[in-house]
């Protein structure tokens, strides 16, 4: 599985059917207009930061923090 797919799997736990679009939107805002499937490990930290901030609008702060933490954990797994 690619890093992008891993992020989507994590995001589905928190955003359900909106996971893909939520990640695409964060990618677009933080990294650029490219295809989010081109996500690389170097972008993960910034993306996770954006997820933590934006996620807090849709869920409780602890849950948003957990979301961010799980995304950052992917970085460790990929190492």
Partner 1 sequence: MSSLTLSGQMRTRIGSSLKTRLMLAFMVTAAVPIVFVAGLLCFQASRTLERNLFEYLEGMSGAKAQTITASVRAMKQEVATAAVSMRLAASMAHTQNATFAEGAESRGQLVDNLNRILRGKEEFEEVFVVSSSGTILESTSPDNNGRDVGGSIYFKQGSQKTYVESGMSAEGSGEYRAVIASPIKDAGGERLGVLAARLNLAPLFEIVTDVTGLRRTGLSYVGAIVDDQARILSPLRNETQSTAKTAVGLGSVAAVPIRDAVRGRNGQGIVPDYRGTSVVAVWLHIPEMGWGLVTKIDLEEFREPLRAWMIQVCFMGLFVLVITGIGAHLLTGKIVRPIVALTDAAERFSRREADVKIDISSEDEIGKLAASFSRMVAAIKFFKEMGEEKP
Binding stretches for partner 1 (CB under 8 A): 12-18, 21-22, 25, 55, 57-60, 62-63
Q: How far is the CB of 78 from partner 1 (least distance, A)?
A: 25
Query: How distant, in Å, are the alpha carbons of 21, 49, 64 from that of 37?
Result: 12, 18, 22
By beta-carbon proximity to partner 1, the closer residue of 63 and 75 is 63
Q: How far is the CB of 63 from partner 1 (least distance, A)?
A: 7
**Closest by Cα among 34, 45, 31 to 75:** 45
By beta-carbon proximity to partner 1, the closer residue of 15 and 44 is 15
Alpha carbon distance, N-terminus to C-terminus of the chain: 14
Q: How far is the CB of 54 from partner 1 (least distance, A)?
A: 9
By beta-carbon proximity to partner 1, the closer residue of 25 and 49 is 25
Q: Evaluate whether 32 touches 16 at the Cβ level (below 8 Å).
A: no
Give the max Cα distance, the chain.
Answer: 31
């Amino acid at each position: 599985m690619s890093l992008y797919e891993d992020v989507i799997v994590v995001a589905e736990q928190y955003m359900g059917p909106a996971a893909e679009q939520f990640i695409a939107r964060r990618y677009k805002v933080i990294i650029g207009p490219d295809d989010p499937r081109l996500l690389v490990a170097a972008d993960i930290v910034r993306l996770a930061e954006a997820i933590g901030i934006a996620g807090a609008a849709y869920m409780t702060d602890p849950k948003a923090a957990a979301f961010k933490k799980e995304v950052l954990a992917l970085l460790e797994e990929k190492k």
